[in-house]
Amino acid sequence: MGTPIRLVVDGVEIEASPGQTILEAAEAAGIYIPRLCHKSGLEPFGSCRVCTVVVNGRFQSACTQPVAEGMVIENDTEKLLAIRRDIIEMLLVEGNHFCMFCEKSGNCELQALAYRFGITAPKYPYLWPEREVDASHPDVFLDRNRCILCGRCVRASRDLDGKHAFDFAGRGASRRIAVNAEGKLAETTAAVTDRAVEACPVGSLLPKRVGFQVPIGKRLYDAEPIGSEIERRGGSP
């Protein structure tokens, strides 16, 4: 464990263990820092910047920054909420997210964050990209139109499934999720039971033939906002 590290988040002193990230330490203390590319159990990636906090006056990604003694962290401020809201809005307009027709609705972390941040209509123009849909696999559906390039499938396939079924290809606006095959997903070793499929925070990787088994209204984020389970640990209502 080592000697506890003390830091302050939004004026509240918390204790952390050496080696924890700011996000992990805050979470253990019942403070929710929004996140998208981060998933517990996966190597931190630091790509989406939804977890941006201010540490001693400087912007940092909470999911990659290790704790240090005496850190003073801003998390729940108007300035940071506005930055995160902008990131979420840009992710929404950059892809094709038709939530009302998506099997992931109610379980989707991007949608849940949009609700938590009160986003009803993004202020940025929709880009309506045309991206490849890969339905070749007998059990898994890959829709790049909903992909937010968080890389969770890449890390889960590599580190948890030991398969390297997914990776990034291309650069900049052309960056996309590629599969480890000459052709399509069906030619990879990916399976519906892979942690990579479960790791997708949106409806980009979905198991086939399980559509709407859990009705809309009874799904994970239908009952309460994303992050509530963490905040309850801190004694919030």
Report the helix count and the strand count for the chain, using DSSP H and E. 7, 10
Helix or strand (DSSP H, E) at 59: strand 58-61
Given the complex with ligand FES, which of 7 and 110 has the nearer CB atom?
110
Taking the complex as a whole, the smallest distance from the CB of residue 60 to ligand FES amounts, in Å, to: 10
**Residue in 16, 38, 95, 151 binding ligand FES, rule: CB under 6 A:** 38
Give the one residue of 16, 51, 55, 149 binding ligand FES; rule: CB under 6 A. 51
The reply to whether 47 sits near ligand FES by the rule CB under 6 A is: yes
Q: How far is the CB of 220 from ligand FES (least distance, A)?
A: 18
State the Cα torsion 51-54-56-60 to the nearest 10°.
Answer: 50
d(CA 89, CA 117) in angstroms, rounded, equals 10
Q: Does 21 bind ligand FES (CB under 6 A)?
A: no
The reply on whether position 61 binds ligand FES by CB under 6 A is yes
Strands 205-207 and 140-143: what pairing?
antiparallel
Instruction: Tell me the pairing of strands 5-9 and 72-74.
Output: parallel
If one asks whether residue 75 binds ligand FES (CB under 6 A), the answer comes out as no
Number of residues that bind ligand FES (CB under 6 A): 12
Q: What is the dihedral of CA 34, 39, 124, 146, to 10 degrees?
A: -150
The answer to whether 36 contacts ligand FES (rule: CB under 6 A) is yes
Find the binder of ligand FES among 32, 35, 96, 143 (CB under 6 A): 35
What value, to the nearest 5°, has the Cα angle with vertex 197 and ends 192 and 200? 160
Q: Which of 22, 26, 31, 37 binds ligand FES (CB under 6 A)?
A: 37
Q: How far is CA 158 from CA 46, 163, 217, 234, in A?
A: 17, 5, 34, 34
Cβ closest to ligand FES, residue 46 vs residue 207: 46
Closer residue to ligand FES in complex, CB, 137/146:
146
**Rounded CA separation 205/201 (Å):** 9
Kindly state whether residue 26 participates in binding ligand FES, applying the rule CB under 6 A. Answer: no
Question: In terms of CB distance, is 113 or 206 closer to ligand FES?
Answer: 113
Residues at the contact surface with ligand FES, assessed by CB under 6 A: 35-38, 46-51, 61, 63
